[in-house]
């Protein structure tokens, strides 16, 4: 049996249609694979750059289609055996990515792992062309912020302010933010309730100083809070506080004391030295009961005394029948707190001071260091009138000698002797 031309043509057409149907999927798949090959990861962002243990961070992944055909994407995800991906189902349905277009995916991860470097895998599944896989490097490092003491007293003086200086540094590989230092402790009072440092770059250090008053032995704590990305962290520095009598404040010493009698009453003079390590301000000197301050100097105002500085004083008073005169010295510290010290002065003999802390016996007037002609070191005890008279007489004699007046007087005296 032979086919005519018409039948043969029909059979050929049917064969061609069948072959086209068989080749179409392969050609389409080949075209999709070629298009998907133009999709690539172009950007990765991790915040924070280095996670601490149990931190939550974000991973942003940008892709771009650099081809001339659209690419169909079924889903995008990050898979990891070490880190937890919180929103792993967010991109289960993506869609098409047009030619020249970009797309960004954001994932949340939790670093529930020990310190180390991890590589969770980013998967981009294409609808007709397999998938794209890309490892994401993520580092976990639990190194905390470092807080150290730069300067602090060995012991604290009761009810007085002491300064403590701290160093706060960032040993991590990434920036930390919102750094705040807050002091605390039972029986602790501070001028600053907290100090905000702000941002610390990697390997950066900043110092803070607190004024601290301790009422009793206790533990002074400094809580340092900071953020690594959006994660809040805290470090604590504990400092034992001991109470002791430290000579860091102003310490006034009375010496070179003289007690004399005058028509107006008893005069007490001497020197006051600041043997402490801080300024004494508004220093005033007077006397207490049973002595009564009287004019002309009932209260002697010295003013400020710096460390190792001294000043003379002179007060006048009346006293009857008492062997000691309470010398009262009042002063203020840098915070305006008032201090008062009492020094018993013997009234039985000149130049004697009772043996009390901060008081030394005055040397005799003739041997006092800095004394002049036995007048003493007090400015008020120098006899200016007598010195002036001596100077005037001396100047007159020198003038008479230079003008020849002295020679003429001596010649007259000799002539009268001869007569």
> In angstroms, what CA-CA distances link 389 with 193, 372, 382, 406?
67, 17, 14, 20
Whether 180 and 266 map to the same domain: the answer is no
pLDDT at residue number 225: 97
Whole-number percent of the chain with pLDDT over 70: 76
Whether 136 and 150 map to the same domain: the answer is no
With respect to residue 337, please indicate whether it lies within any of the assigned structural domains. yes
Count of structural domains within the chain = 3
Whether 257 and 356 map to the same domain: the answer is yes
Whether 157 and 129 map to the same domain: the answer is no
Whether 134 and 150 map to the same domain: the answer is no
With respect to residue 258, please indicate whether it lies within any of the assigned structural domains. yes
Task: Show which of 101, 122, 140 is a domain's final residue.
Answer: 140
Task: Show which of 191, 222, 241 is a domain's final residue.
Answer: 241
Residue by residue, DSSP assigns 64-119 as: EE-SSS-EEEEEEEEE-SSSEETTTTTTS--EEE-TT-EEEEEEEEE--S-SEEE-
Phi, psi (degrees; rounded to nearest 5) at 414: -65, -40
Whether 40 and 80 map to the same domain: the answer is yes
> In angstroms, what CA-CA distances link 290 with 3, 241, 323, 344, 371?
153, 42, 10, 12, 32
**CATH number for the domain including 264?**
2.60.40
Kindly report the average pLDDT of the chain as a whole number. Answer: 82
With respect to residue 184, please indicate whether it lies within any of the assigned structural domains. yes
pLDDT at residue number 20: 52
Task: Show which of 119, 140, 161 is a domain's final residue.
Answer: 140
Mean pLDDT for the stretch of residues 264-279: 87
Buried b (16+ CB within 10 A) or exposed e, 215-244: eeebebebebbbbbbeeebeeebebebeee
Q: Are 172 and 50 in contact (CB under 8 A)?
A: yes
| Cα(230)–Cα(56) distance, integer angstroms | 8
With respect to residue 30, please indicate whether it lies within any of the assigned structural domains. no
**CATH number for the domain including 154?**
2.60.40.10
Highest mean pLDDT among 37-41, 93-97, 148-152, 178-182: 178-182
Q: For 73-131, write each residue's pLDDT tens digit.
A: 999 999 999 999 999 889 998 999 999 999 999 999 999 999 999 999 999 999 887 88
Whether 105 and 181 map to the same domain: the answer is no
Whether 263 and 177 map to the same domain: the answer is no
Mean pLDDT for the stretch of residues 326-336: 88
Residue 158, burial from CB neighbour count under 10 angstroms (0-12, 13-18, 19+): exposed
Q: For 373-398, write each residue's pLDDT tens digit.
A: 333 333 444 556 667 666 767 777 67
Whether 237 and 311 map to the same domain: the answer is no
CA angle 255, 260, 261 (to 5 degrees): 160
| Cα(228)–Cα(199) distance, integer angstroms | 10
Residue span of the structural domain in which 235 resides: 146-241
- pLDDT, greater one: 277 or 90: 90
With respect to residue 376, please indicate whether it lies within any of the assigned structural domains. no
pLDDT band at residue 28, thresholds of 50, 70 and 90?
A: very low
Token readout for 133 is 């896989």
Whether 308 and 357 map to the same domain: the answer is yes
pLDDT at residue number 32: 65
With respect to residue 400, please indicate whether it lies within any of the assigned structural domains. no
Whether 175 and 223 map to the same domain: the answer is yes
pLDDT band at residue 355, thresholds of 50, 70 and 90?
A: very low
- The residues near 199 (Cβ < 8 Å, ≥ 6 apart) are 175, 176, 177, 178, 179
| Cα(401)–Cα(409) distance, integer angstroms | 10
With respect to residue 378, please indicate whether it lies within any of the assigned structural domains. no
pLDDT band at residue 254, thresholds of 50, 70 and 90?
A: very high
pLDDT at residue number 243: 85
Which is nearest to 189 in space by CA: 209, 166, 225, 160?
Answer: 160
pTM of the predicted model as reported, rounded to 2 decimal places: 0.59
**CATH number for the domain including 107?**
2.60.120.570
pLDDT band at residue 304, thresholds of 50, 70 and 90?
A: very high
pLDDT surpasses 80 at 270: yes
Whole-number percent of the chain with pLDDT over 90: 50
Poorest-pLDDT segment among 11-20, 74-83, 233-242:
11-20
Whether 133 and 199 map to the same domain: the answer is no
With respect to residue 100, please indicate whether it lies within any of the assigned structural domains. yes
pLDDT at residue number 322: 79
């Amino acid at each position: 049996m032979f086919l005519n031309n018409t039948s043969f043509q029909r059979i050929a057409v049917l064969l061609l249609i069948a072959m086209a149907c068989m080749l179409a999927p392969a050609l389409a798949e080949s075209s999709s694979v070629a298009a998907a090959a133009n999709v690539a990861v172009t950007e990765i962002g991790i915040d924070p750059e280095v996670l601490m243990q149990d931190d939550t961070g974000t991973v942003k992944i940008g892709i771009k289609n650099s081809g001339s055909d659209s690419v169909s994407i079924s889903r995008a995800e990050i898979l990891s055996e070490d880190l937890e991906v919180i929103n792993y189902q967010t991109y289960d349905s993506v869609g098409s990515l047009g030619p020249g277009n970009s797309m960004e995916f954001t994932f949340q991860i939790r670093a529930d792992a020990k310190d180390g470097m991890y590589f969770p895998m980013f998967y981009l599944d294409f609808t007709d062309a397999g998938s794209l896989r890309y490892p994401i490097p993520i580092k976990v490092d639990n190194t905390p912020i470092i807080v150290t003491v730069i300067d602090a007293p060995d012991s604290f003086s009761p009810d007085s302010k002491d300064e403590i200086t701290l160093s706060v540094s960032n040993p991590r590989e990434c920036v930390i933010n919102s750094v705040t230092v807050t002091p605390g402790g039972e029986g602790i009072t501070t001028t600053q309730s907290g100090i905000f440092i702000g941002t610390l770059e990697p390997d950066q250090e900043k110092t803070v100083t607190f004024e601290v008053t301790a009422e009793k032995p206790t533990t002074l704590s400094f809580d340092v809070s900071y953020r690594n990305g959006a994660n809040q962290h805290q470090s604590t520095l504990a400092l034992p506080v001991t109470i002791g009598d430290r000579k860091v404040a102003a310490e006034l010493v009375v010496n070179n004391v003289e007690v004399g009698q005058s028509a107006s009453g008893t005069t007490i003079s001497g020197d006051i030295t600041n043997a402490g390590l801080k300024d004494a301000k508004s220093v005033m000197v007077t006397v207490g009961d049973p002595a009564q301050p009287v004019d002309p100097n009932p209260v002697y105002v010295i003013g400020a005394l710096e460390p190792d500085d001294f000043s003379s004083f002179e007060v006048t008073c009346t006293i009857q029948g008492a062997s000691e005169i309470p010398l009262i010295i009042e002063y203020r510290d840098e915070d305006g707190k008032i201090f008062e010290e009492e020094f018993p002065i013997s009234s039985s003999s000149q130049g004697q001071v009772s043996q009390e802390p901060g008081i030394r016996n005055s040397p005799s007037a003739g041997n006092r260091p800095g004394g002049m002609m036995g007048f003493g070191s007090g400015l008020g005890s120098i006899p200016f009138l007598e010195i002036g008279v001596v100077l005037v007489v001396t100047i007159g004699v020198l003038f008479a000698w230079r003008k020849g007046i002295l020679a003429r007087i001596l010649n007259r005296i000799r002539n009268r002797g001869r007569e």
